[in-house]
Amino acid sequence: MSNLDRQAALSVCGGRGFVVAEPVRELLSPRTVRLGESTEVRRLLPNLGRRMVGAWAFVDHYGPDDIADEPGMQVPPHPHMGLQTVSWLHQGEVLHRDSTGSLATIRPRELGLMTSGRAISHSEESPRSHARYLHGAQLWVALPDAHRRVDPRFEHHPDLPAVTAPGLTATVILGTLDGTTSPGTAYTPIVGADITLSDGADVRLPLDRDFEYAVLAMSGEAVVDGVPVLPGSMLYLGCGRTELALRAESDAALMLLGGEPFEEELIMFWNWIGRSQEEIAEARRDWMEGTRFGEVKGYDGAPLPAPELPPVPLKPRGRVR
């Protein structure tokens, strides 16, 4: 998923200095962003109050949108580096193309995982013949320094393992939850899980005390650790938890995001994650000159131009504003 904000700003995130090292309940409100002609997303990370949860550095929630008579998602070719993109759907389909030659249609509860490494470009679009509704989340995972220049690759995992309990199914998207591990490639201690709750479910989900966590509400009415969480909002939970209380007041769906707090400070600008302003400037030049990031073949349209870099120097501010 691209960040299409033409007023993109440099920001620094990561580092352990601002990790909440104890359980908290910090409700994050989204910022509305237009994505293409017909898709509006709710951006939860980076947020005015918090930039990362573990290695999770970017979270958009969109839909459910009625796109029966619309083109749906239409994101032209754009570049990435230093991160993984995670495509996750509850309704609809997304056609993925990238500069490694990958072509895949991602459907509900299937993992589309793209590791950009040193450089990749891709496009995302609703197929010409598509389902009426589009609903899902797009997320980025920051790559640690030791792996941020790996070869680019795309993984499509239609079948994922799950943790179950009465009234709960937790599909493990990335990393490990309660001893169950996703087949998706992970480069840091991390977890991403899609949780479905039946109406009336009242359960406790095992957690890792050393991870920090957040819960994104996708649909329905749920209470997370005593806090009602509405669809499109996210509850940051801090660290130090061994379990999480979940209660459903209707059929509900959540996403659990967590991981060890990310130690490195990162610079995130547009669709790139780097370590210096010079590195970001080099990536912008390479993209605009048509080098390094490759070509997305088969997409009917021009690639996205990169926004201008801001004239002011970067001022590090850590994990929170």
Q: What is the mean pLDDT of the chain?
A: 91
**Spatial contact of 284 and 80, defined as CB atoms under 8 Å apart:** no
* CA atoms of 247 and 51, how far apart (whole Å): 27
CA Rg, the chain, in Å? 18
| pLDDT, tens digit, 9 for 90 and up, residues 86-118 | 999 999 999 999 999 999 999 999 999 999 999
Q: What is the DSSP letter of 294?
A: -
pTM confidence score = 0.92
| pLDDT, tens digit, 9 for 90 and up, residues 237-271 | 999 999 999 999 999 999 999 999 999 999 999 99
| pLDDT, tens digit, 9 for 90 and up, residues 291-320 | 999 999 999 999 999 999 988 765 444 455
31: number of CA atoms within 13 Å, CB side?
13
Straight-line distance from the first to the last Cα atom of the chain, in angstroms, rounded to the nearest whole number: 24
**Spatial contact of 245 and 206, defined as CB atoms under 8 Å apart:** no
Exposure string for 207-240, b = 16+ CB within 10 A, e = fewer: bbeebbbbbbbbbbbbbbbeeebebbbbbbbbbb
The 3-state DSSP class for residue 295 equals coil
Instruction: Name beta bridge partners: 59.
Output: 45, 139
Does the pLDDT at position 178 exceed 60? yes
Question: Residue 212 has which token pair?
Answer: 């920090």
pLDDT at 16: 45
